[in-house]
Amino acid sequence: MKAFMVEKYGDASNMRAAEIPDPQVGADDVLVRIDAASVNPLDMKIRDGDLKQILPYRLPLVLGNDLAGTVVRVGSSVTRFAVGDEVWARPDKDRIGTFAELLAVHQDDLAAKPATLTMTEAASLPLVALTAWQALVERANVQPGQKVLIHAGAGGLGSITIQLAKALGAHVAATASTAKIDLVKDLGADEVIDYRTQDFSELLTGYDLVLDSLGGENLAKSLRILKPGGLAISVAGPPDPATARELGSNLVLRLGVAALSAKIRRQAKRLGVTYSFLFMRASGDQLRELTPLIDAGKIRPVVDQVFPFDETLQAMEYVEKGRAKAGKVVVSMT
């Protein structure tokens, strides 16, 4: 089959198209013919080696973390899926590789594709929708009336998190550029802060939760708008000790991770709030929880552009250089 490989850590020059053997299918695996896959900033971080300490992949590696496709074979222990089923998934972190024609996915990580979505739309959602669910529902337990700030509201993650937060009954503020304010309001945000002309930390206060996808000074300022006991969840800040434990890191690496996040955790403690890093995990069950919200129109995908499979490298470059106007970039195999 054809796939796009990372040969060694580094920049885009270390990726290439290649012919590789079809995946082996274990007893609990579902072999999926991939119809579409989406590009995430995570793909570039893996390619560049930014995460090799906590995600020690063996190279060469097929990239890609989202898929929608059709089942072409099932393992002997698979009970939920049959040949011909249309499915979607964010494969487990140890079994990524959706920039390919086929992928074997563990049945626990897979779900039936929402009936209202095309393959292209469905491929745009798994990673960001699971991240939003795990932040808002699993970790923060957002309740009706709570106040949530979502940074980069027009981005792939922000656009879905706004919609989920509104479905949960939260009051939602979001940051966005001037050109994207109307889009973010249309997604459901109650307040939109134009980050080009306004400082959110001077305008907002008393928030229960912040979801940060930018890190750095943006994260530090986010702590200050939380009420006592509030929570800042970041997908871009330094990993915390809990994340290292979840990923099974050794003691030396756990100590190193603790040192990386010590400053922001101290800042949070002084303010009476909590800092938490989120590295989302695959979950077919959570995709099934999200499906009724999608089919009811409460969460809709935001797709910026679709590239043909042969232009996967160009799609990655498009995302890496910040050309996407809103939402996700998708690669279509058909």
How confident is the model over 165-176, as pLDDT tens digits? Answer: 999 999 999 999
Flag whether 110 is in a domain.
Answer: yes
Residue 308 belongs to domain with CATH number: 3.90.180.10
- How many domains does the chain fold into? 2
Give the residue carrying structure tokens 């802060």. 193
User: Between these two residues, 325 and 123, which has the higher pLDDT value?
Assistant: 123
Domain identity same for 119 and 149:
no
Domain identity same for 24 and 89:
yes
Flag whether 259 is in a domain.
Answer: yes
Domain identity same for 160 and 208:
yes
Flag whether 286 is in a domain.
Answer: no
For residue range 258-308, list pLDDT tens digits in order. Answer: 777 899 999 999 999 999 999 999 999 999 999 999 999 999 999 999 999
What is the pLDDT confidence band of residue 243, given thresholds at 50, 70 and 90?
Answer: confident
Domain identity same for 98 and 213:
no
Q: Is 256 helix (H, G, I), strand (E, B) or coil?
A: helix
Domain identity same for 251 and 132:
yes
Q: Is 148 helix (H, G, I), strand (E, B) or coil?
A: strand
Q: What DSSP character marks residue 317?
A: H
Average pLDDT over residues 10-33: 96
Domain identity same for 268 and 155:
yes
For residue 249, the model assigns a pLDDT of 65
The mean of the pLDDT values for the chain is 95
Distance between CA atoms of residues 330 and 39, nearest Å: 6
Q: Is 184 helix (H, G, I), strand (E, B) or coil?
A: helix
Domain identity same for 231 and 313:
no
Q: What is the pTM of this model?
A: 0.96
Q: Is the pLDDT of residue 183 over 70?
A: yes
Q: What DSSP character marks residue 187?
A: T
Distance between CA atoms of residues 241 and 164, nearest Å: 28
Percent of the chain with pLDDT over 70: 97
Flag whether 289 is in a domain.
Answer: no
For residue 53, the model assigns a pLDDT of 79
Q: String of b and e for 253-264 (b: at least 16 CB within 10 Å)?
A: bbeebbebbeeb
Q: Is the pLDDT of residue 252 over 70?
A: no
Average pLDDT over residues 224-234: 98
Domain identity same for 230 and 143:
yes
Flag whether 294 is in a domain.
Answer: no
Domain identity same for 88 and 182:
no
Domain identity same for 259 and 154:
yes
For residue 259, the model assigns a pLDDT of 77
Distance between CA atoms of residues 184 and 191, nearest Å: 9
- Structural domain that includes position 163: 127-277
Flag whether 36 is in a domain.
Answer: yes
Q: Is the pLDDT of residue 247 over 70?
A: no
Task: Say which residues have a Cβ less than 8 Å from residue 88's Cβ, sequence separation at least 6.
Answer: 67, 68, 69, 110, 111, 112, 113, 114, 122, 123, 125, 126, 287
Domain identity same for 220 and 321:
no
Percent of the chain with pLDDT over 90: 89
Answer yes or no: are the C-beta atoms of 29 and 106 closer than 8 Å. yes
For residue 253, the model assigns a pLDDT of 66
Residue 195 belongs to domain with CATH number: 3.40.50.720
Domain identity same for 66 and 175:
no
Q: Is the pLDDT of residue 241 over 80?
A: no
For residue 245, the model assigns a pLDDT of 72
